[in-house]
């Protein structure tokens, strides 16, 4: 575990000039599609990366807890309280199975989030984290732990996890990016933390069981695009794992948000897959272009009203009698 935020981006093997644009692919994964094992999952990721790359995408983003799809081949007697531990036990092999895909397709992969084991040095702390893995074609892996957990992720009778304590900032191909996992994007304090760091792109993998949760995550993601003057790519899982037992489903879609500025089309939304509770086959794939150069120009004084990384340190909250 490290400091609360990375003050400087991870070192890049070679300096790169910022590109004018970047095509991203957002895979709203249909986790109701059963799998026959980790090899089947890796083959599916491979196929989706090939489809995205054929459309010019340089980055594929998968959702939070895409690993729930693995429960379709989990032991039939697996209890809810044991699901996180079982998925965490598969995580190392799962990452090894997709490790070479970014180099194969010459594109980055945010492999959603997977539960992973860790040693908390305290028996009272759950020994699992909800971790996103950004696999880059140059061989780097950037790991981002979820910082703020939902009640279900803090429930000893459910998916009981621990939190991370760092936001990782990475530079890749001249693009500065970070990842906030689902509920993390709803935290204004994290937006304030990131504001001075000059991000180009924020990635938001999510899992939401209801339309209300989808609306919170995606609504706040759009707000972060305005506050940070950067693009925000948000995607969630659809459906529920094919376990053969009654199970809560998930409602989501995919969206690419940008600042609400005239040169970017006024509305702050580049493209979207509307929210749904079910999907066909592997789930929809949204490919959209991030207008990086235009966003940078706006950030350098051409935005309509954006005041920069504004802070409220000088403002007092005063209660009137």
User: If you average pLDDT over residues 14-39, what whole number do you get?
Assistant: 92
User: Which pLDDT does position 5 carry in this prediction?
Assistant: 53
User: Which pLDDT does position 122 carry in this prediction?
Assistant: 87
Burial zone of 174 (CB within 10 Å; 0-12 exposed, 13-18 middle, 19+ buried): middle
Q: In percent, how much of the chain has pLDDT > 70?
A: 95
Number of independent structural domains in the chain:
1
């998968």: which residue's tokens?
62
Average pLDDT, the chain: 94
User: Which pLDDT does position 4 carry in this prediction?
Assistant: 46
- Residue 5 maps to a domain: no
Rg (CA), the chain: 19
For position 225, which CATH number holds?
Answer: 3.60.110.10
| Per-residue confidence band for 124, with pLDDT thresholds at 50, 70 and 90 | confident
User: Coil, helix or strand for 35?
Assistant: coil
- Residue 311 maps to a domain: no
């305290």: which residue's tokens?
122
- Residue 6 maps to a domain: no
- Residue 220 maps to a domain: yes
Dihedral pair phi/psi, residue 116, rounded to 5°: -130, 150
Measured distance CA(45)–CA(11) in Å, rounded: 27
Q: Is residue 300 pLDDT above 80, yes or no?
A: yes
Tokens, residue 63? 């959702």
Quick: pLDDT tens for 148-193: 999 999 999 999 999 999 999 999 999 999 999 999 999 999 999 9
Quick: pLDDT tens for 213-235: 999 999 999 999 999 999 999 99
Nearest to 45 by CA among 89, 99, 87, 114: 99
- Residue 93 maps to a domain: yes
Measured distance CA(91)–CA(47) in Å, rounded: 20
| Per-residue confidence band for 7, with pLDDT thresholds at 50, 70 and 90 | very low
Tokens, residue 282? 């592997």
Helix ranges restricted to H, 99-169: 101-105
The set of residues, in sequence order, having a beta carbon less than 8 Å from that of 302 and lying 6+ positions away, is 263
Element (H, E) at 217: helix 211-228
User: Which pLDDT does position 321 carry in this prediction?
Assistant: 87
Tokens, residue 243? 């376990």
Q: Is residue 264 pLDDT above 60, yes or no?
A: yes
- Residue 7 maps to a domain: no
Is-contact 30 279, C-beta < 8 A?
yes
Domain residues for the domain of 92 are 22-302
Residues in the chain, overall count: 321
Sign of CA dihedral 151, 38, 235, 135: positive
Quick: pLDDT tens for 35-84: 999 999 999 999 999 999 999 999 999 999 999 999 999 999 999 999 99
The reported pTM is 0.94
- Residue 255 maps to a domain: yes
Cα dihedral 34→271→259→108 (10° resolution) = 50
- Residue 248 maps to a domain: yes
């Amino acid at each position: 575990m490290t400091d609360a935020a990375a003050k400087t981006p991870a070192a890049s093997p070679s300096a790169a000039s910022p590109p004018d644009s970047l095509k991203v692919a957002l895979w709203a994964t249909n986790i109701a599609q059963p799998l026959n094992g980790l090899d089947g999952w890796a083959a599916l990721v491979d196929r989706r990366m090939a489809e995205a790359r054929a459309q010019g995408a340089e980055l594929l983003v998968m959702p939070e807890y895409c690993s729930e799809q693995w429960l379709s081949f989990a032991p039939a007697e697996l209890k809810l309280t044991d699901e996180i531990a079982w998925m965490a036990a598969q995580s190392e092999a799962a990452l090894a199975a997709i490790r070479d895909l970014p180099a194969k397709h010459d594109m980055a992969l945010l492999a959603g989030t997977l539960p992973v084991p860790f040693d908390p040095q305290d028996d009272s702390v759950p020994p699992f984290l909800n971790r996103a893995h950004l696999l880059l074609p140059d061989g780097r892996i950037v790991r981002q732990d979820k910082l703020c957990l939902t009640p279900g992720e803090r429930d000893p009778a459910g998916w009981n996890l621990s939190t991370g304590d760092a936001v990782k900032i990475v530079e890749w191909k001249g693009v500065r990016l970070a990842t906030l996992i689902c509920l993390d994007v709803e935290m204004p304090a994290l937006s304030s933390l990131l504001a001075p760091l000059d991000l180009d792109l924020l990635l938001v993998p999510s899992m939401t069981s209801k339309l209300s949760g989808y609306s919170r995550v995606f609504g706040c993601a759009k707000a972060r695009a305005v506050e940070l003057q950067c693009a925000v790519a948000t995607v969630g899982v659809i459906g529920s794992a094919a376990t053969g037992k009654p199970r809560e489903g998930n409602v989501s879609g995919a969206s690419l948000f940008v600042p609400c500025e005239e040169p970017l089309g006024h509305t702050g939304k580049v493209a979207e897959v509307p929210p749904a509770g079910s999907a066909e086959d592997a789930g929809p794939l949204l490919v959209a272009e991030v207008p990086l150069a235009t966003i940078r120009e706006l950030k350098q004084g051409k935005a309509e009203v954006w005041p920069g990384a504004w802070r409220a340190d000088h403002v007092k909250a005063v209660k009137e009698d």
